[in-house]
Amino acid sequence: MTTENDTITCERYLPHRPAAVWRALTDPGLHARWWAAGDVKPVVGHRFTLDMGNFGHQSCEVTEVEDERLLVYRFAEGTLDTTVTWTLHPEGEGTRLVLTHTGFDLDSPLGRQAYEGMGHGWPSVLERLDVVLGGAARQ
């Protein structure tokens, strides 16, 4: 994981094909198992809300989609106003997943706190994604 300026970048190799990783990113039932419940869909313009537990319900809007390759959405509209980008790169029998979370307002206390918290939190979220994918593959 790296943090630079207003951007958090996490990269993880997942021993699962891009189609399986894509499904985990875009299927609401799977998404809720590794990160947050919400009606995520890979459709540009789709608005959805993620239930972030103690951090409340966060409004999101999908802005870019390339099937099994790229999913971009605005995250926490009206509060953080950041952008989450998931990029999938086929690699051998698996997928290299790159998460980029950008646009934090580091001059605001909320933006700084979110940047630091998510900088520490994203690696464990990707770890849970890997565990859920492993479980999903065996079902």
117 Cβ contact partners less than 8 Å away, ≥ 6 residues apart: none
What is the pLDDT, as a whole number, of residue 1?
57
Pick from 11, 33, 13, 18: nearest CA to 136: 33
What is the pLDDT, as a whole number, of residue 34?
96
Query: Is 44 a residue whose pLDDT tops 60?
Result: yes
What is the pLDDT, as a whole number, of residue 126?
95
| 98-132 confidence digits (pLDDT tens) | 999 999 999 999 999 999 999 999 999 999 999 99
109 Cβ contact partners less than 8 Å away, ≥ 6 residues apart: none
What is the pLDDT, as a whole number, of residue 5?
81
> What H or E segment, with its residue span, contains residue 136?
helix 109-138
CA angle at 135 for the pair 64 and 137, rounded to the nearest 5°: 70
pTM of the model: 0.92
Task: Tell me the C-alpha distance between 98 and 48, whole Å.
Answer: 22
| 11-36 confidence digits (pLDDT tens) | 999 999 999 999 999 999 999 999 99
What is the pLDDT, as a whole number, of residue 117?
93
